[in-house]
Amino acid sequence: MKKTDDIRVRITNFIKTLPKTVSVKAYGSSIAYQSGYKDNEKKQVDLIVIVDDIKQFYTENLKMNKYMYKLIPRIYFKRAKSKNLKKAAGICYTTDIVYGEDTYKMGVIEKVDALDDLLNWKTFYIAGRFQKEMFTAQADAEIEKANEINKKNAMTIALLLLKKENPTLLDLYEQICSLSYMGDSRKNFKAEDPNKIKKLASGSKEHFNKEFRDKSKLIKVSKDEHITVDYKETFESIKRLPDELRKKIEENTEGKLDMEHIDIIRGSIEEYLTTIIKKSSLGQTKKGILTTGPKNSLVYALRKLKKGRKKD
């Protein structure tokens, strides 16, 4: 049994201890190979848990799994109303959950909010993560269908943003990986590995081949893995982007979706993503003090800072 198979079995066992869930996905270095990590390096397991009712989930989980929560988060989840739990990107994280031999970081979000982000890119918090390699421990048909649309739209904007001449597949995959980091507060404070995008792209190449290269009609790939972009079809694909982004592009270009207006199109995409990601990222950081506790938040931030500075 491979190490990745091993962790997937343990994740499946862990989610059996939770209240009813709609879908569960794991992501990060414990699931997707990232170059630069040692095989024996302890890796946190990152989970996104999708539920029907976030308040009900926490009410039940506080009874079933009290060990997961420090004092302040315990009080917060007990007293907070649903609208407070759904603030920022709509997701609440709990860190340092030790179960068996693994340590989990668990984010909980309602299905309606997950679908909204996958289809409309309201915050790009879920959408950006779901574009990368994940392990689906529990699937939901609506979520999977929405994510296929999300990935098609990611391919469109990645190709539009790709500025390198004679680009390769790896250049494209790095562009896709970089989308969710535009405006992310962690990058501004160097609280993230500066080489993470390259590690994600190269480590998950097989995933990207399957989910983007093999499914898209927007590119042709040569034997040496250089790509030729069908810009006519790519510009046409702008019309299928989430409404707010599409409207922004069409207004800024006066509806002229062509290579002559590519710089305006790129600027519109970058401005849109940077704005919504910055807002949701800062909101989640503030909310994290309540959902994980001040000490855990500080320890997690310092850990990220150490990793970012060390590999800068």
Q: CB-based contacts of 59: which residues, under 8 Å, 6+ apart?
A: 77, 78
Q: Which residue has the higher pLDDT, 153 or 290?
A: 153
Which among 28, 183, 168 is positioned nearest to 107, based on CA atoms?
A: 28
Using the predicted structure, report yes or no on whether residue 51 has a pLDDT greater than 80. yes
Contact 49, 108 (CB under 8 A): yes
Does residue 309 form part of some domain? no
pLDDT tens track for 140-175: 999 999 999 999 999 999 999 999 999 999 999 999
If 0-12 CB within 10 Å is exposed, 13-18 middle and 19+ buried, where does residue 190 land?
middle
pLDDT tens track for 62-88: 999 999 999 999 999 999 999 999 999
Domain count, the chain: 1
pLDDT tens track for 7-27: 999 999 999 999 999 999 999
- Structural domain boundaries enclosing 248: 3-299
Does residue 228 form part of some domain? yes
> Where would I find the beta strands (DSSP E) of 172-296?
219-221, 227-229
Does residue 154 form part of some domain? yes
Q: What is the mean pLDDT of residues 253-270?
A: 98
pLDDT tens track for 104-137: 999 999 999 999 999 999 999 999 999 999 999 9
DSSP collapsed to 3 states, 104-162: EEEEEEEHHHHHHHHHHCCCCHHHHHHCCCCEEEECCHHHHHHHHHHHHHHHHHHHHHC
Does residue 304 form part of some domain? no
Does residue 211 form part of some domain? yes
Give the tokens for residue 248: 């922004």
